[in-house]
Structure 1
Amino acid sequence: MALLAQQAIARSGLTPTYSAAAASTTVLCGDRSFLHVKNTNGSSMTVTITATATVDGQPCSDLIVTVPATTGDKMIGPITNKLFASAADGVSASITYSSTTSVTVASLTI
């Protein structure tokens, strides 16, 4: 899984760089970390962020977001450590996409 480079939104503005979505990626977690997904495909698709947290020994549900077809545009987050940080490194979240055709993504932080 490739780690998406996190881009910082500044007061002066940010023109984000988008990457083609891969079947699975990782992003850095944080209280100010977000994922921006754009879908220009003719079909809707889903983004799944794997939850790693538990409450009273019960696993939390993954975050599943549907991105509409054609002009779909979703900001997802915050992607917090508390809910999504990988047990392996404690700082990244695992993300999968139901489709990658005509889907671009950017990892952002404020």
Structure 2
Amino acid sequence: MAALPIVTVPVAGGVSLEGSDVAASADGDTAPVGAGRFLYVRNGDAAPHTVTIATPGTLSGVAIADVTVTVPAGESKIVPLTALFRGASGRAALTYDAVTAVSVAVFELER
């Protein structure tokens, strides 16, 4: 699993999505979680792809279902990376149904 770095989005000027993303890893990726952080997923493939974000926690002893996000062909999505996704490593675990033409980035709003 590759550890995705944080791209800070400055209040003045913003940041370009183009070039901030990297190829999704076939073995999955990890991402930092917390307030103001989100995952950007771009699908440049001709088929839809699904990203699964593990939710390692429980609520009253019942496992919380993992979150799946389907990104249609040629589209992008943004997903908040809240503390709900924090695993034992302190990071979220991301997996993909396929990585053909899928790229990802983690953004954080400047504080």
Which consecutive aligned stretches of 4+ in structure 1 deviate over 4 angstroms post-superposition? none
Q: 1:80 aligns with which of 75, 79, 82?
A: 82
- Asked if 1:39 corresponds to 2:38, the answer is no
Q: Secondary structure at the match of 1:52?
A: coil
Amino acid at match of 1:102: A
Task: Output the aligned Cα RMSD.
Answer: 1.0
- Number of matched pairs: 105
Superposed CA deviations along residues 31-88 of structure 1, whole A, max 9, x for unmatched, are 211100110101001000000111000010101000001x2110011x122x11112x
Consecutive unaligned residues in structure 1, runs of 5 or more: none
- Asked if 1:109 corresponds to 2:108, the answer is yes
Q: TM-score, normalised by structure 1?
A: 0.90
| Cross-structure match for 2:16 | 15
**Identical-residue share of aligned pairs (%):** 35
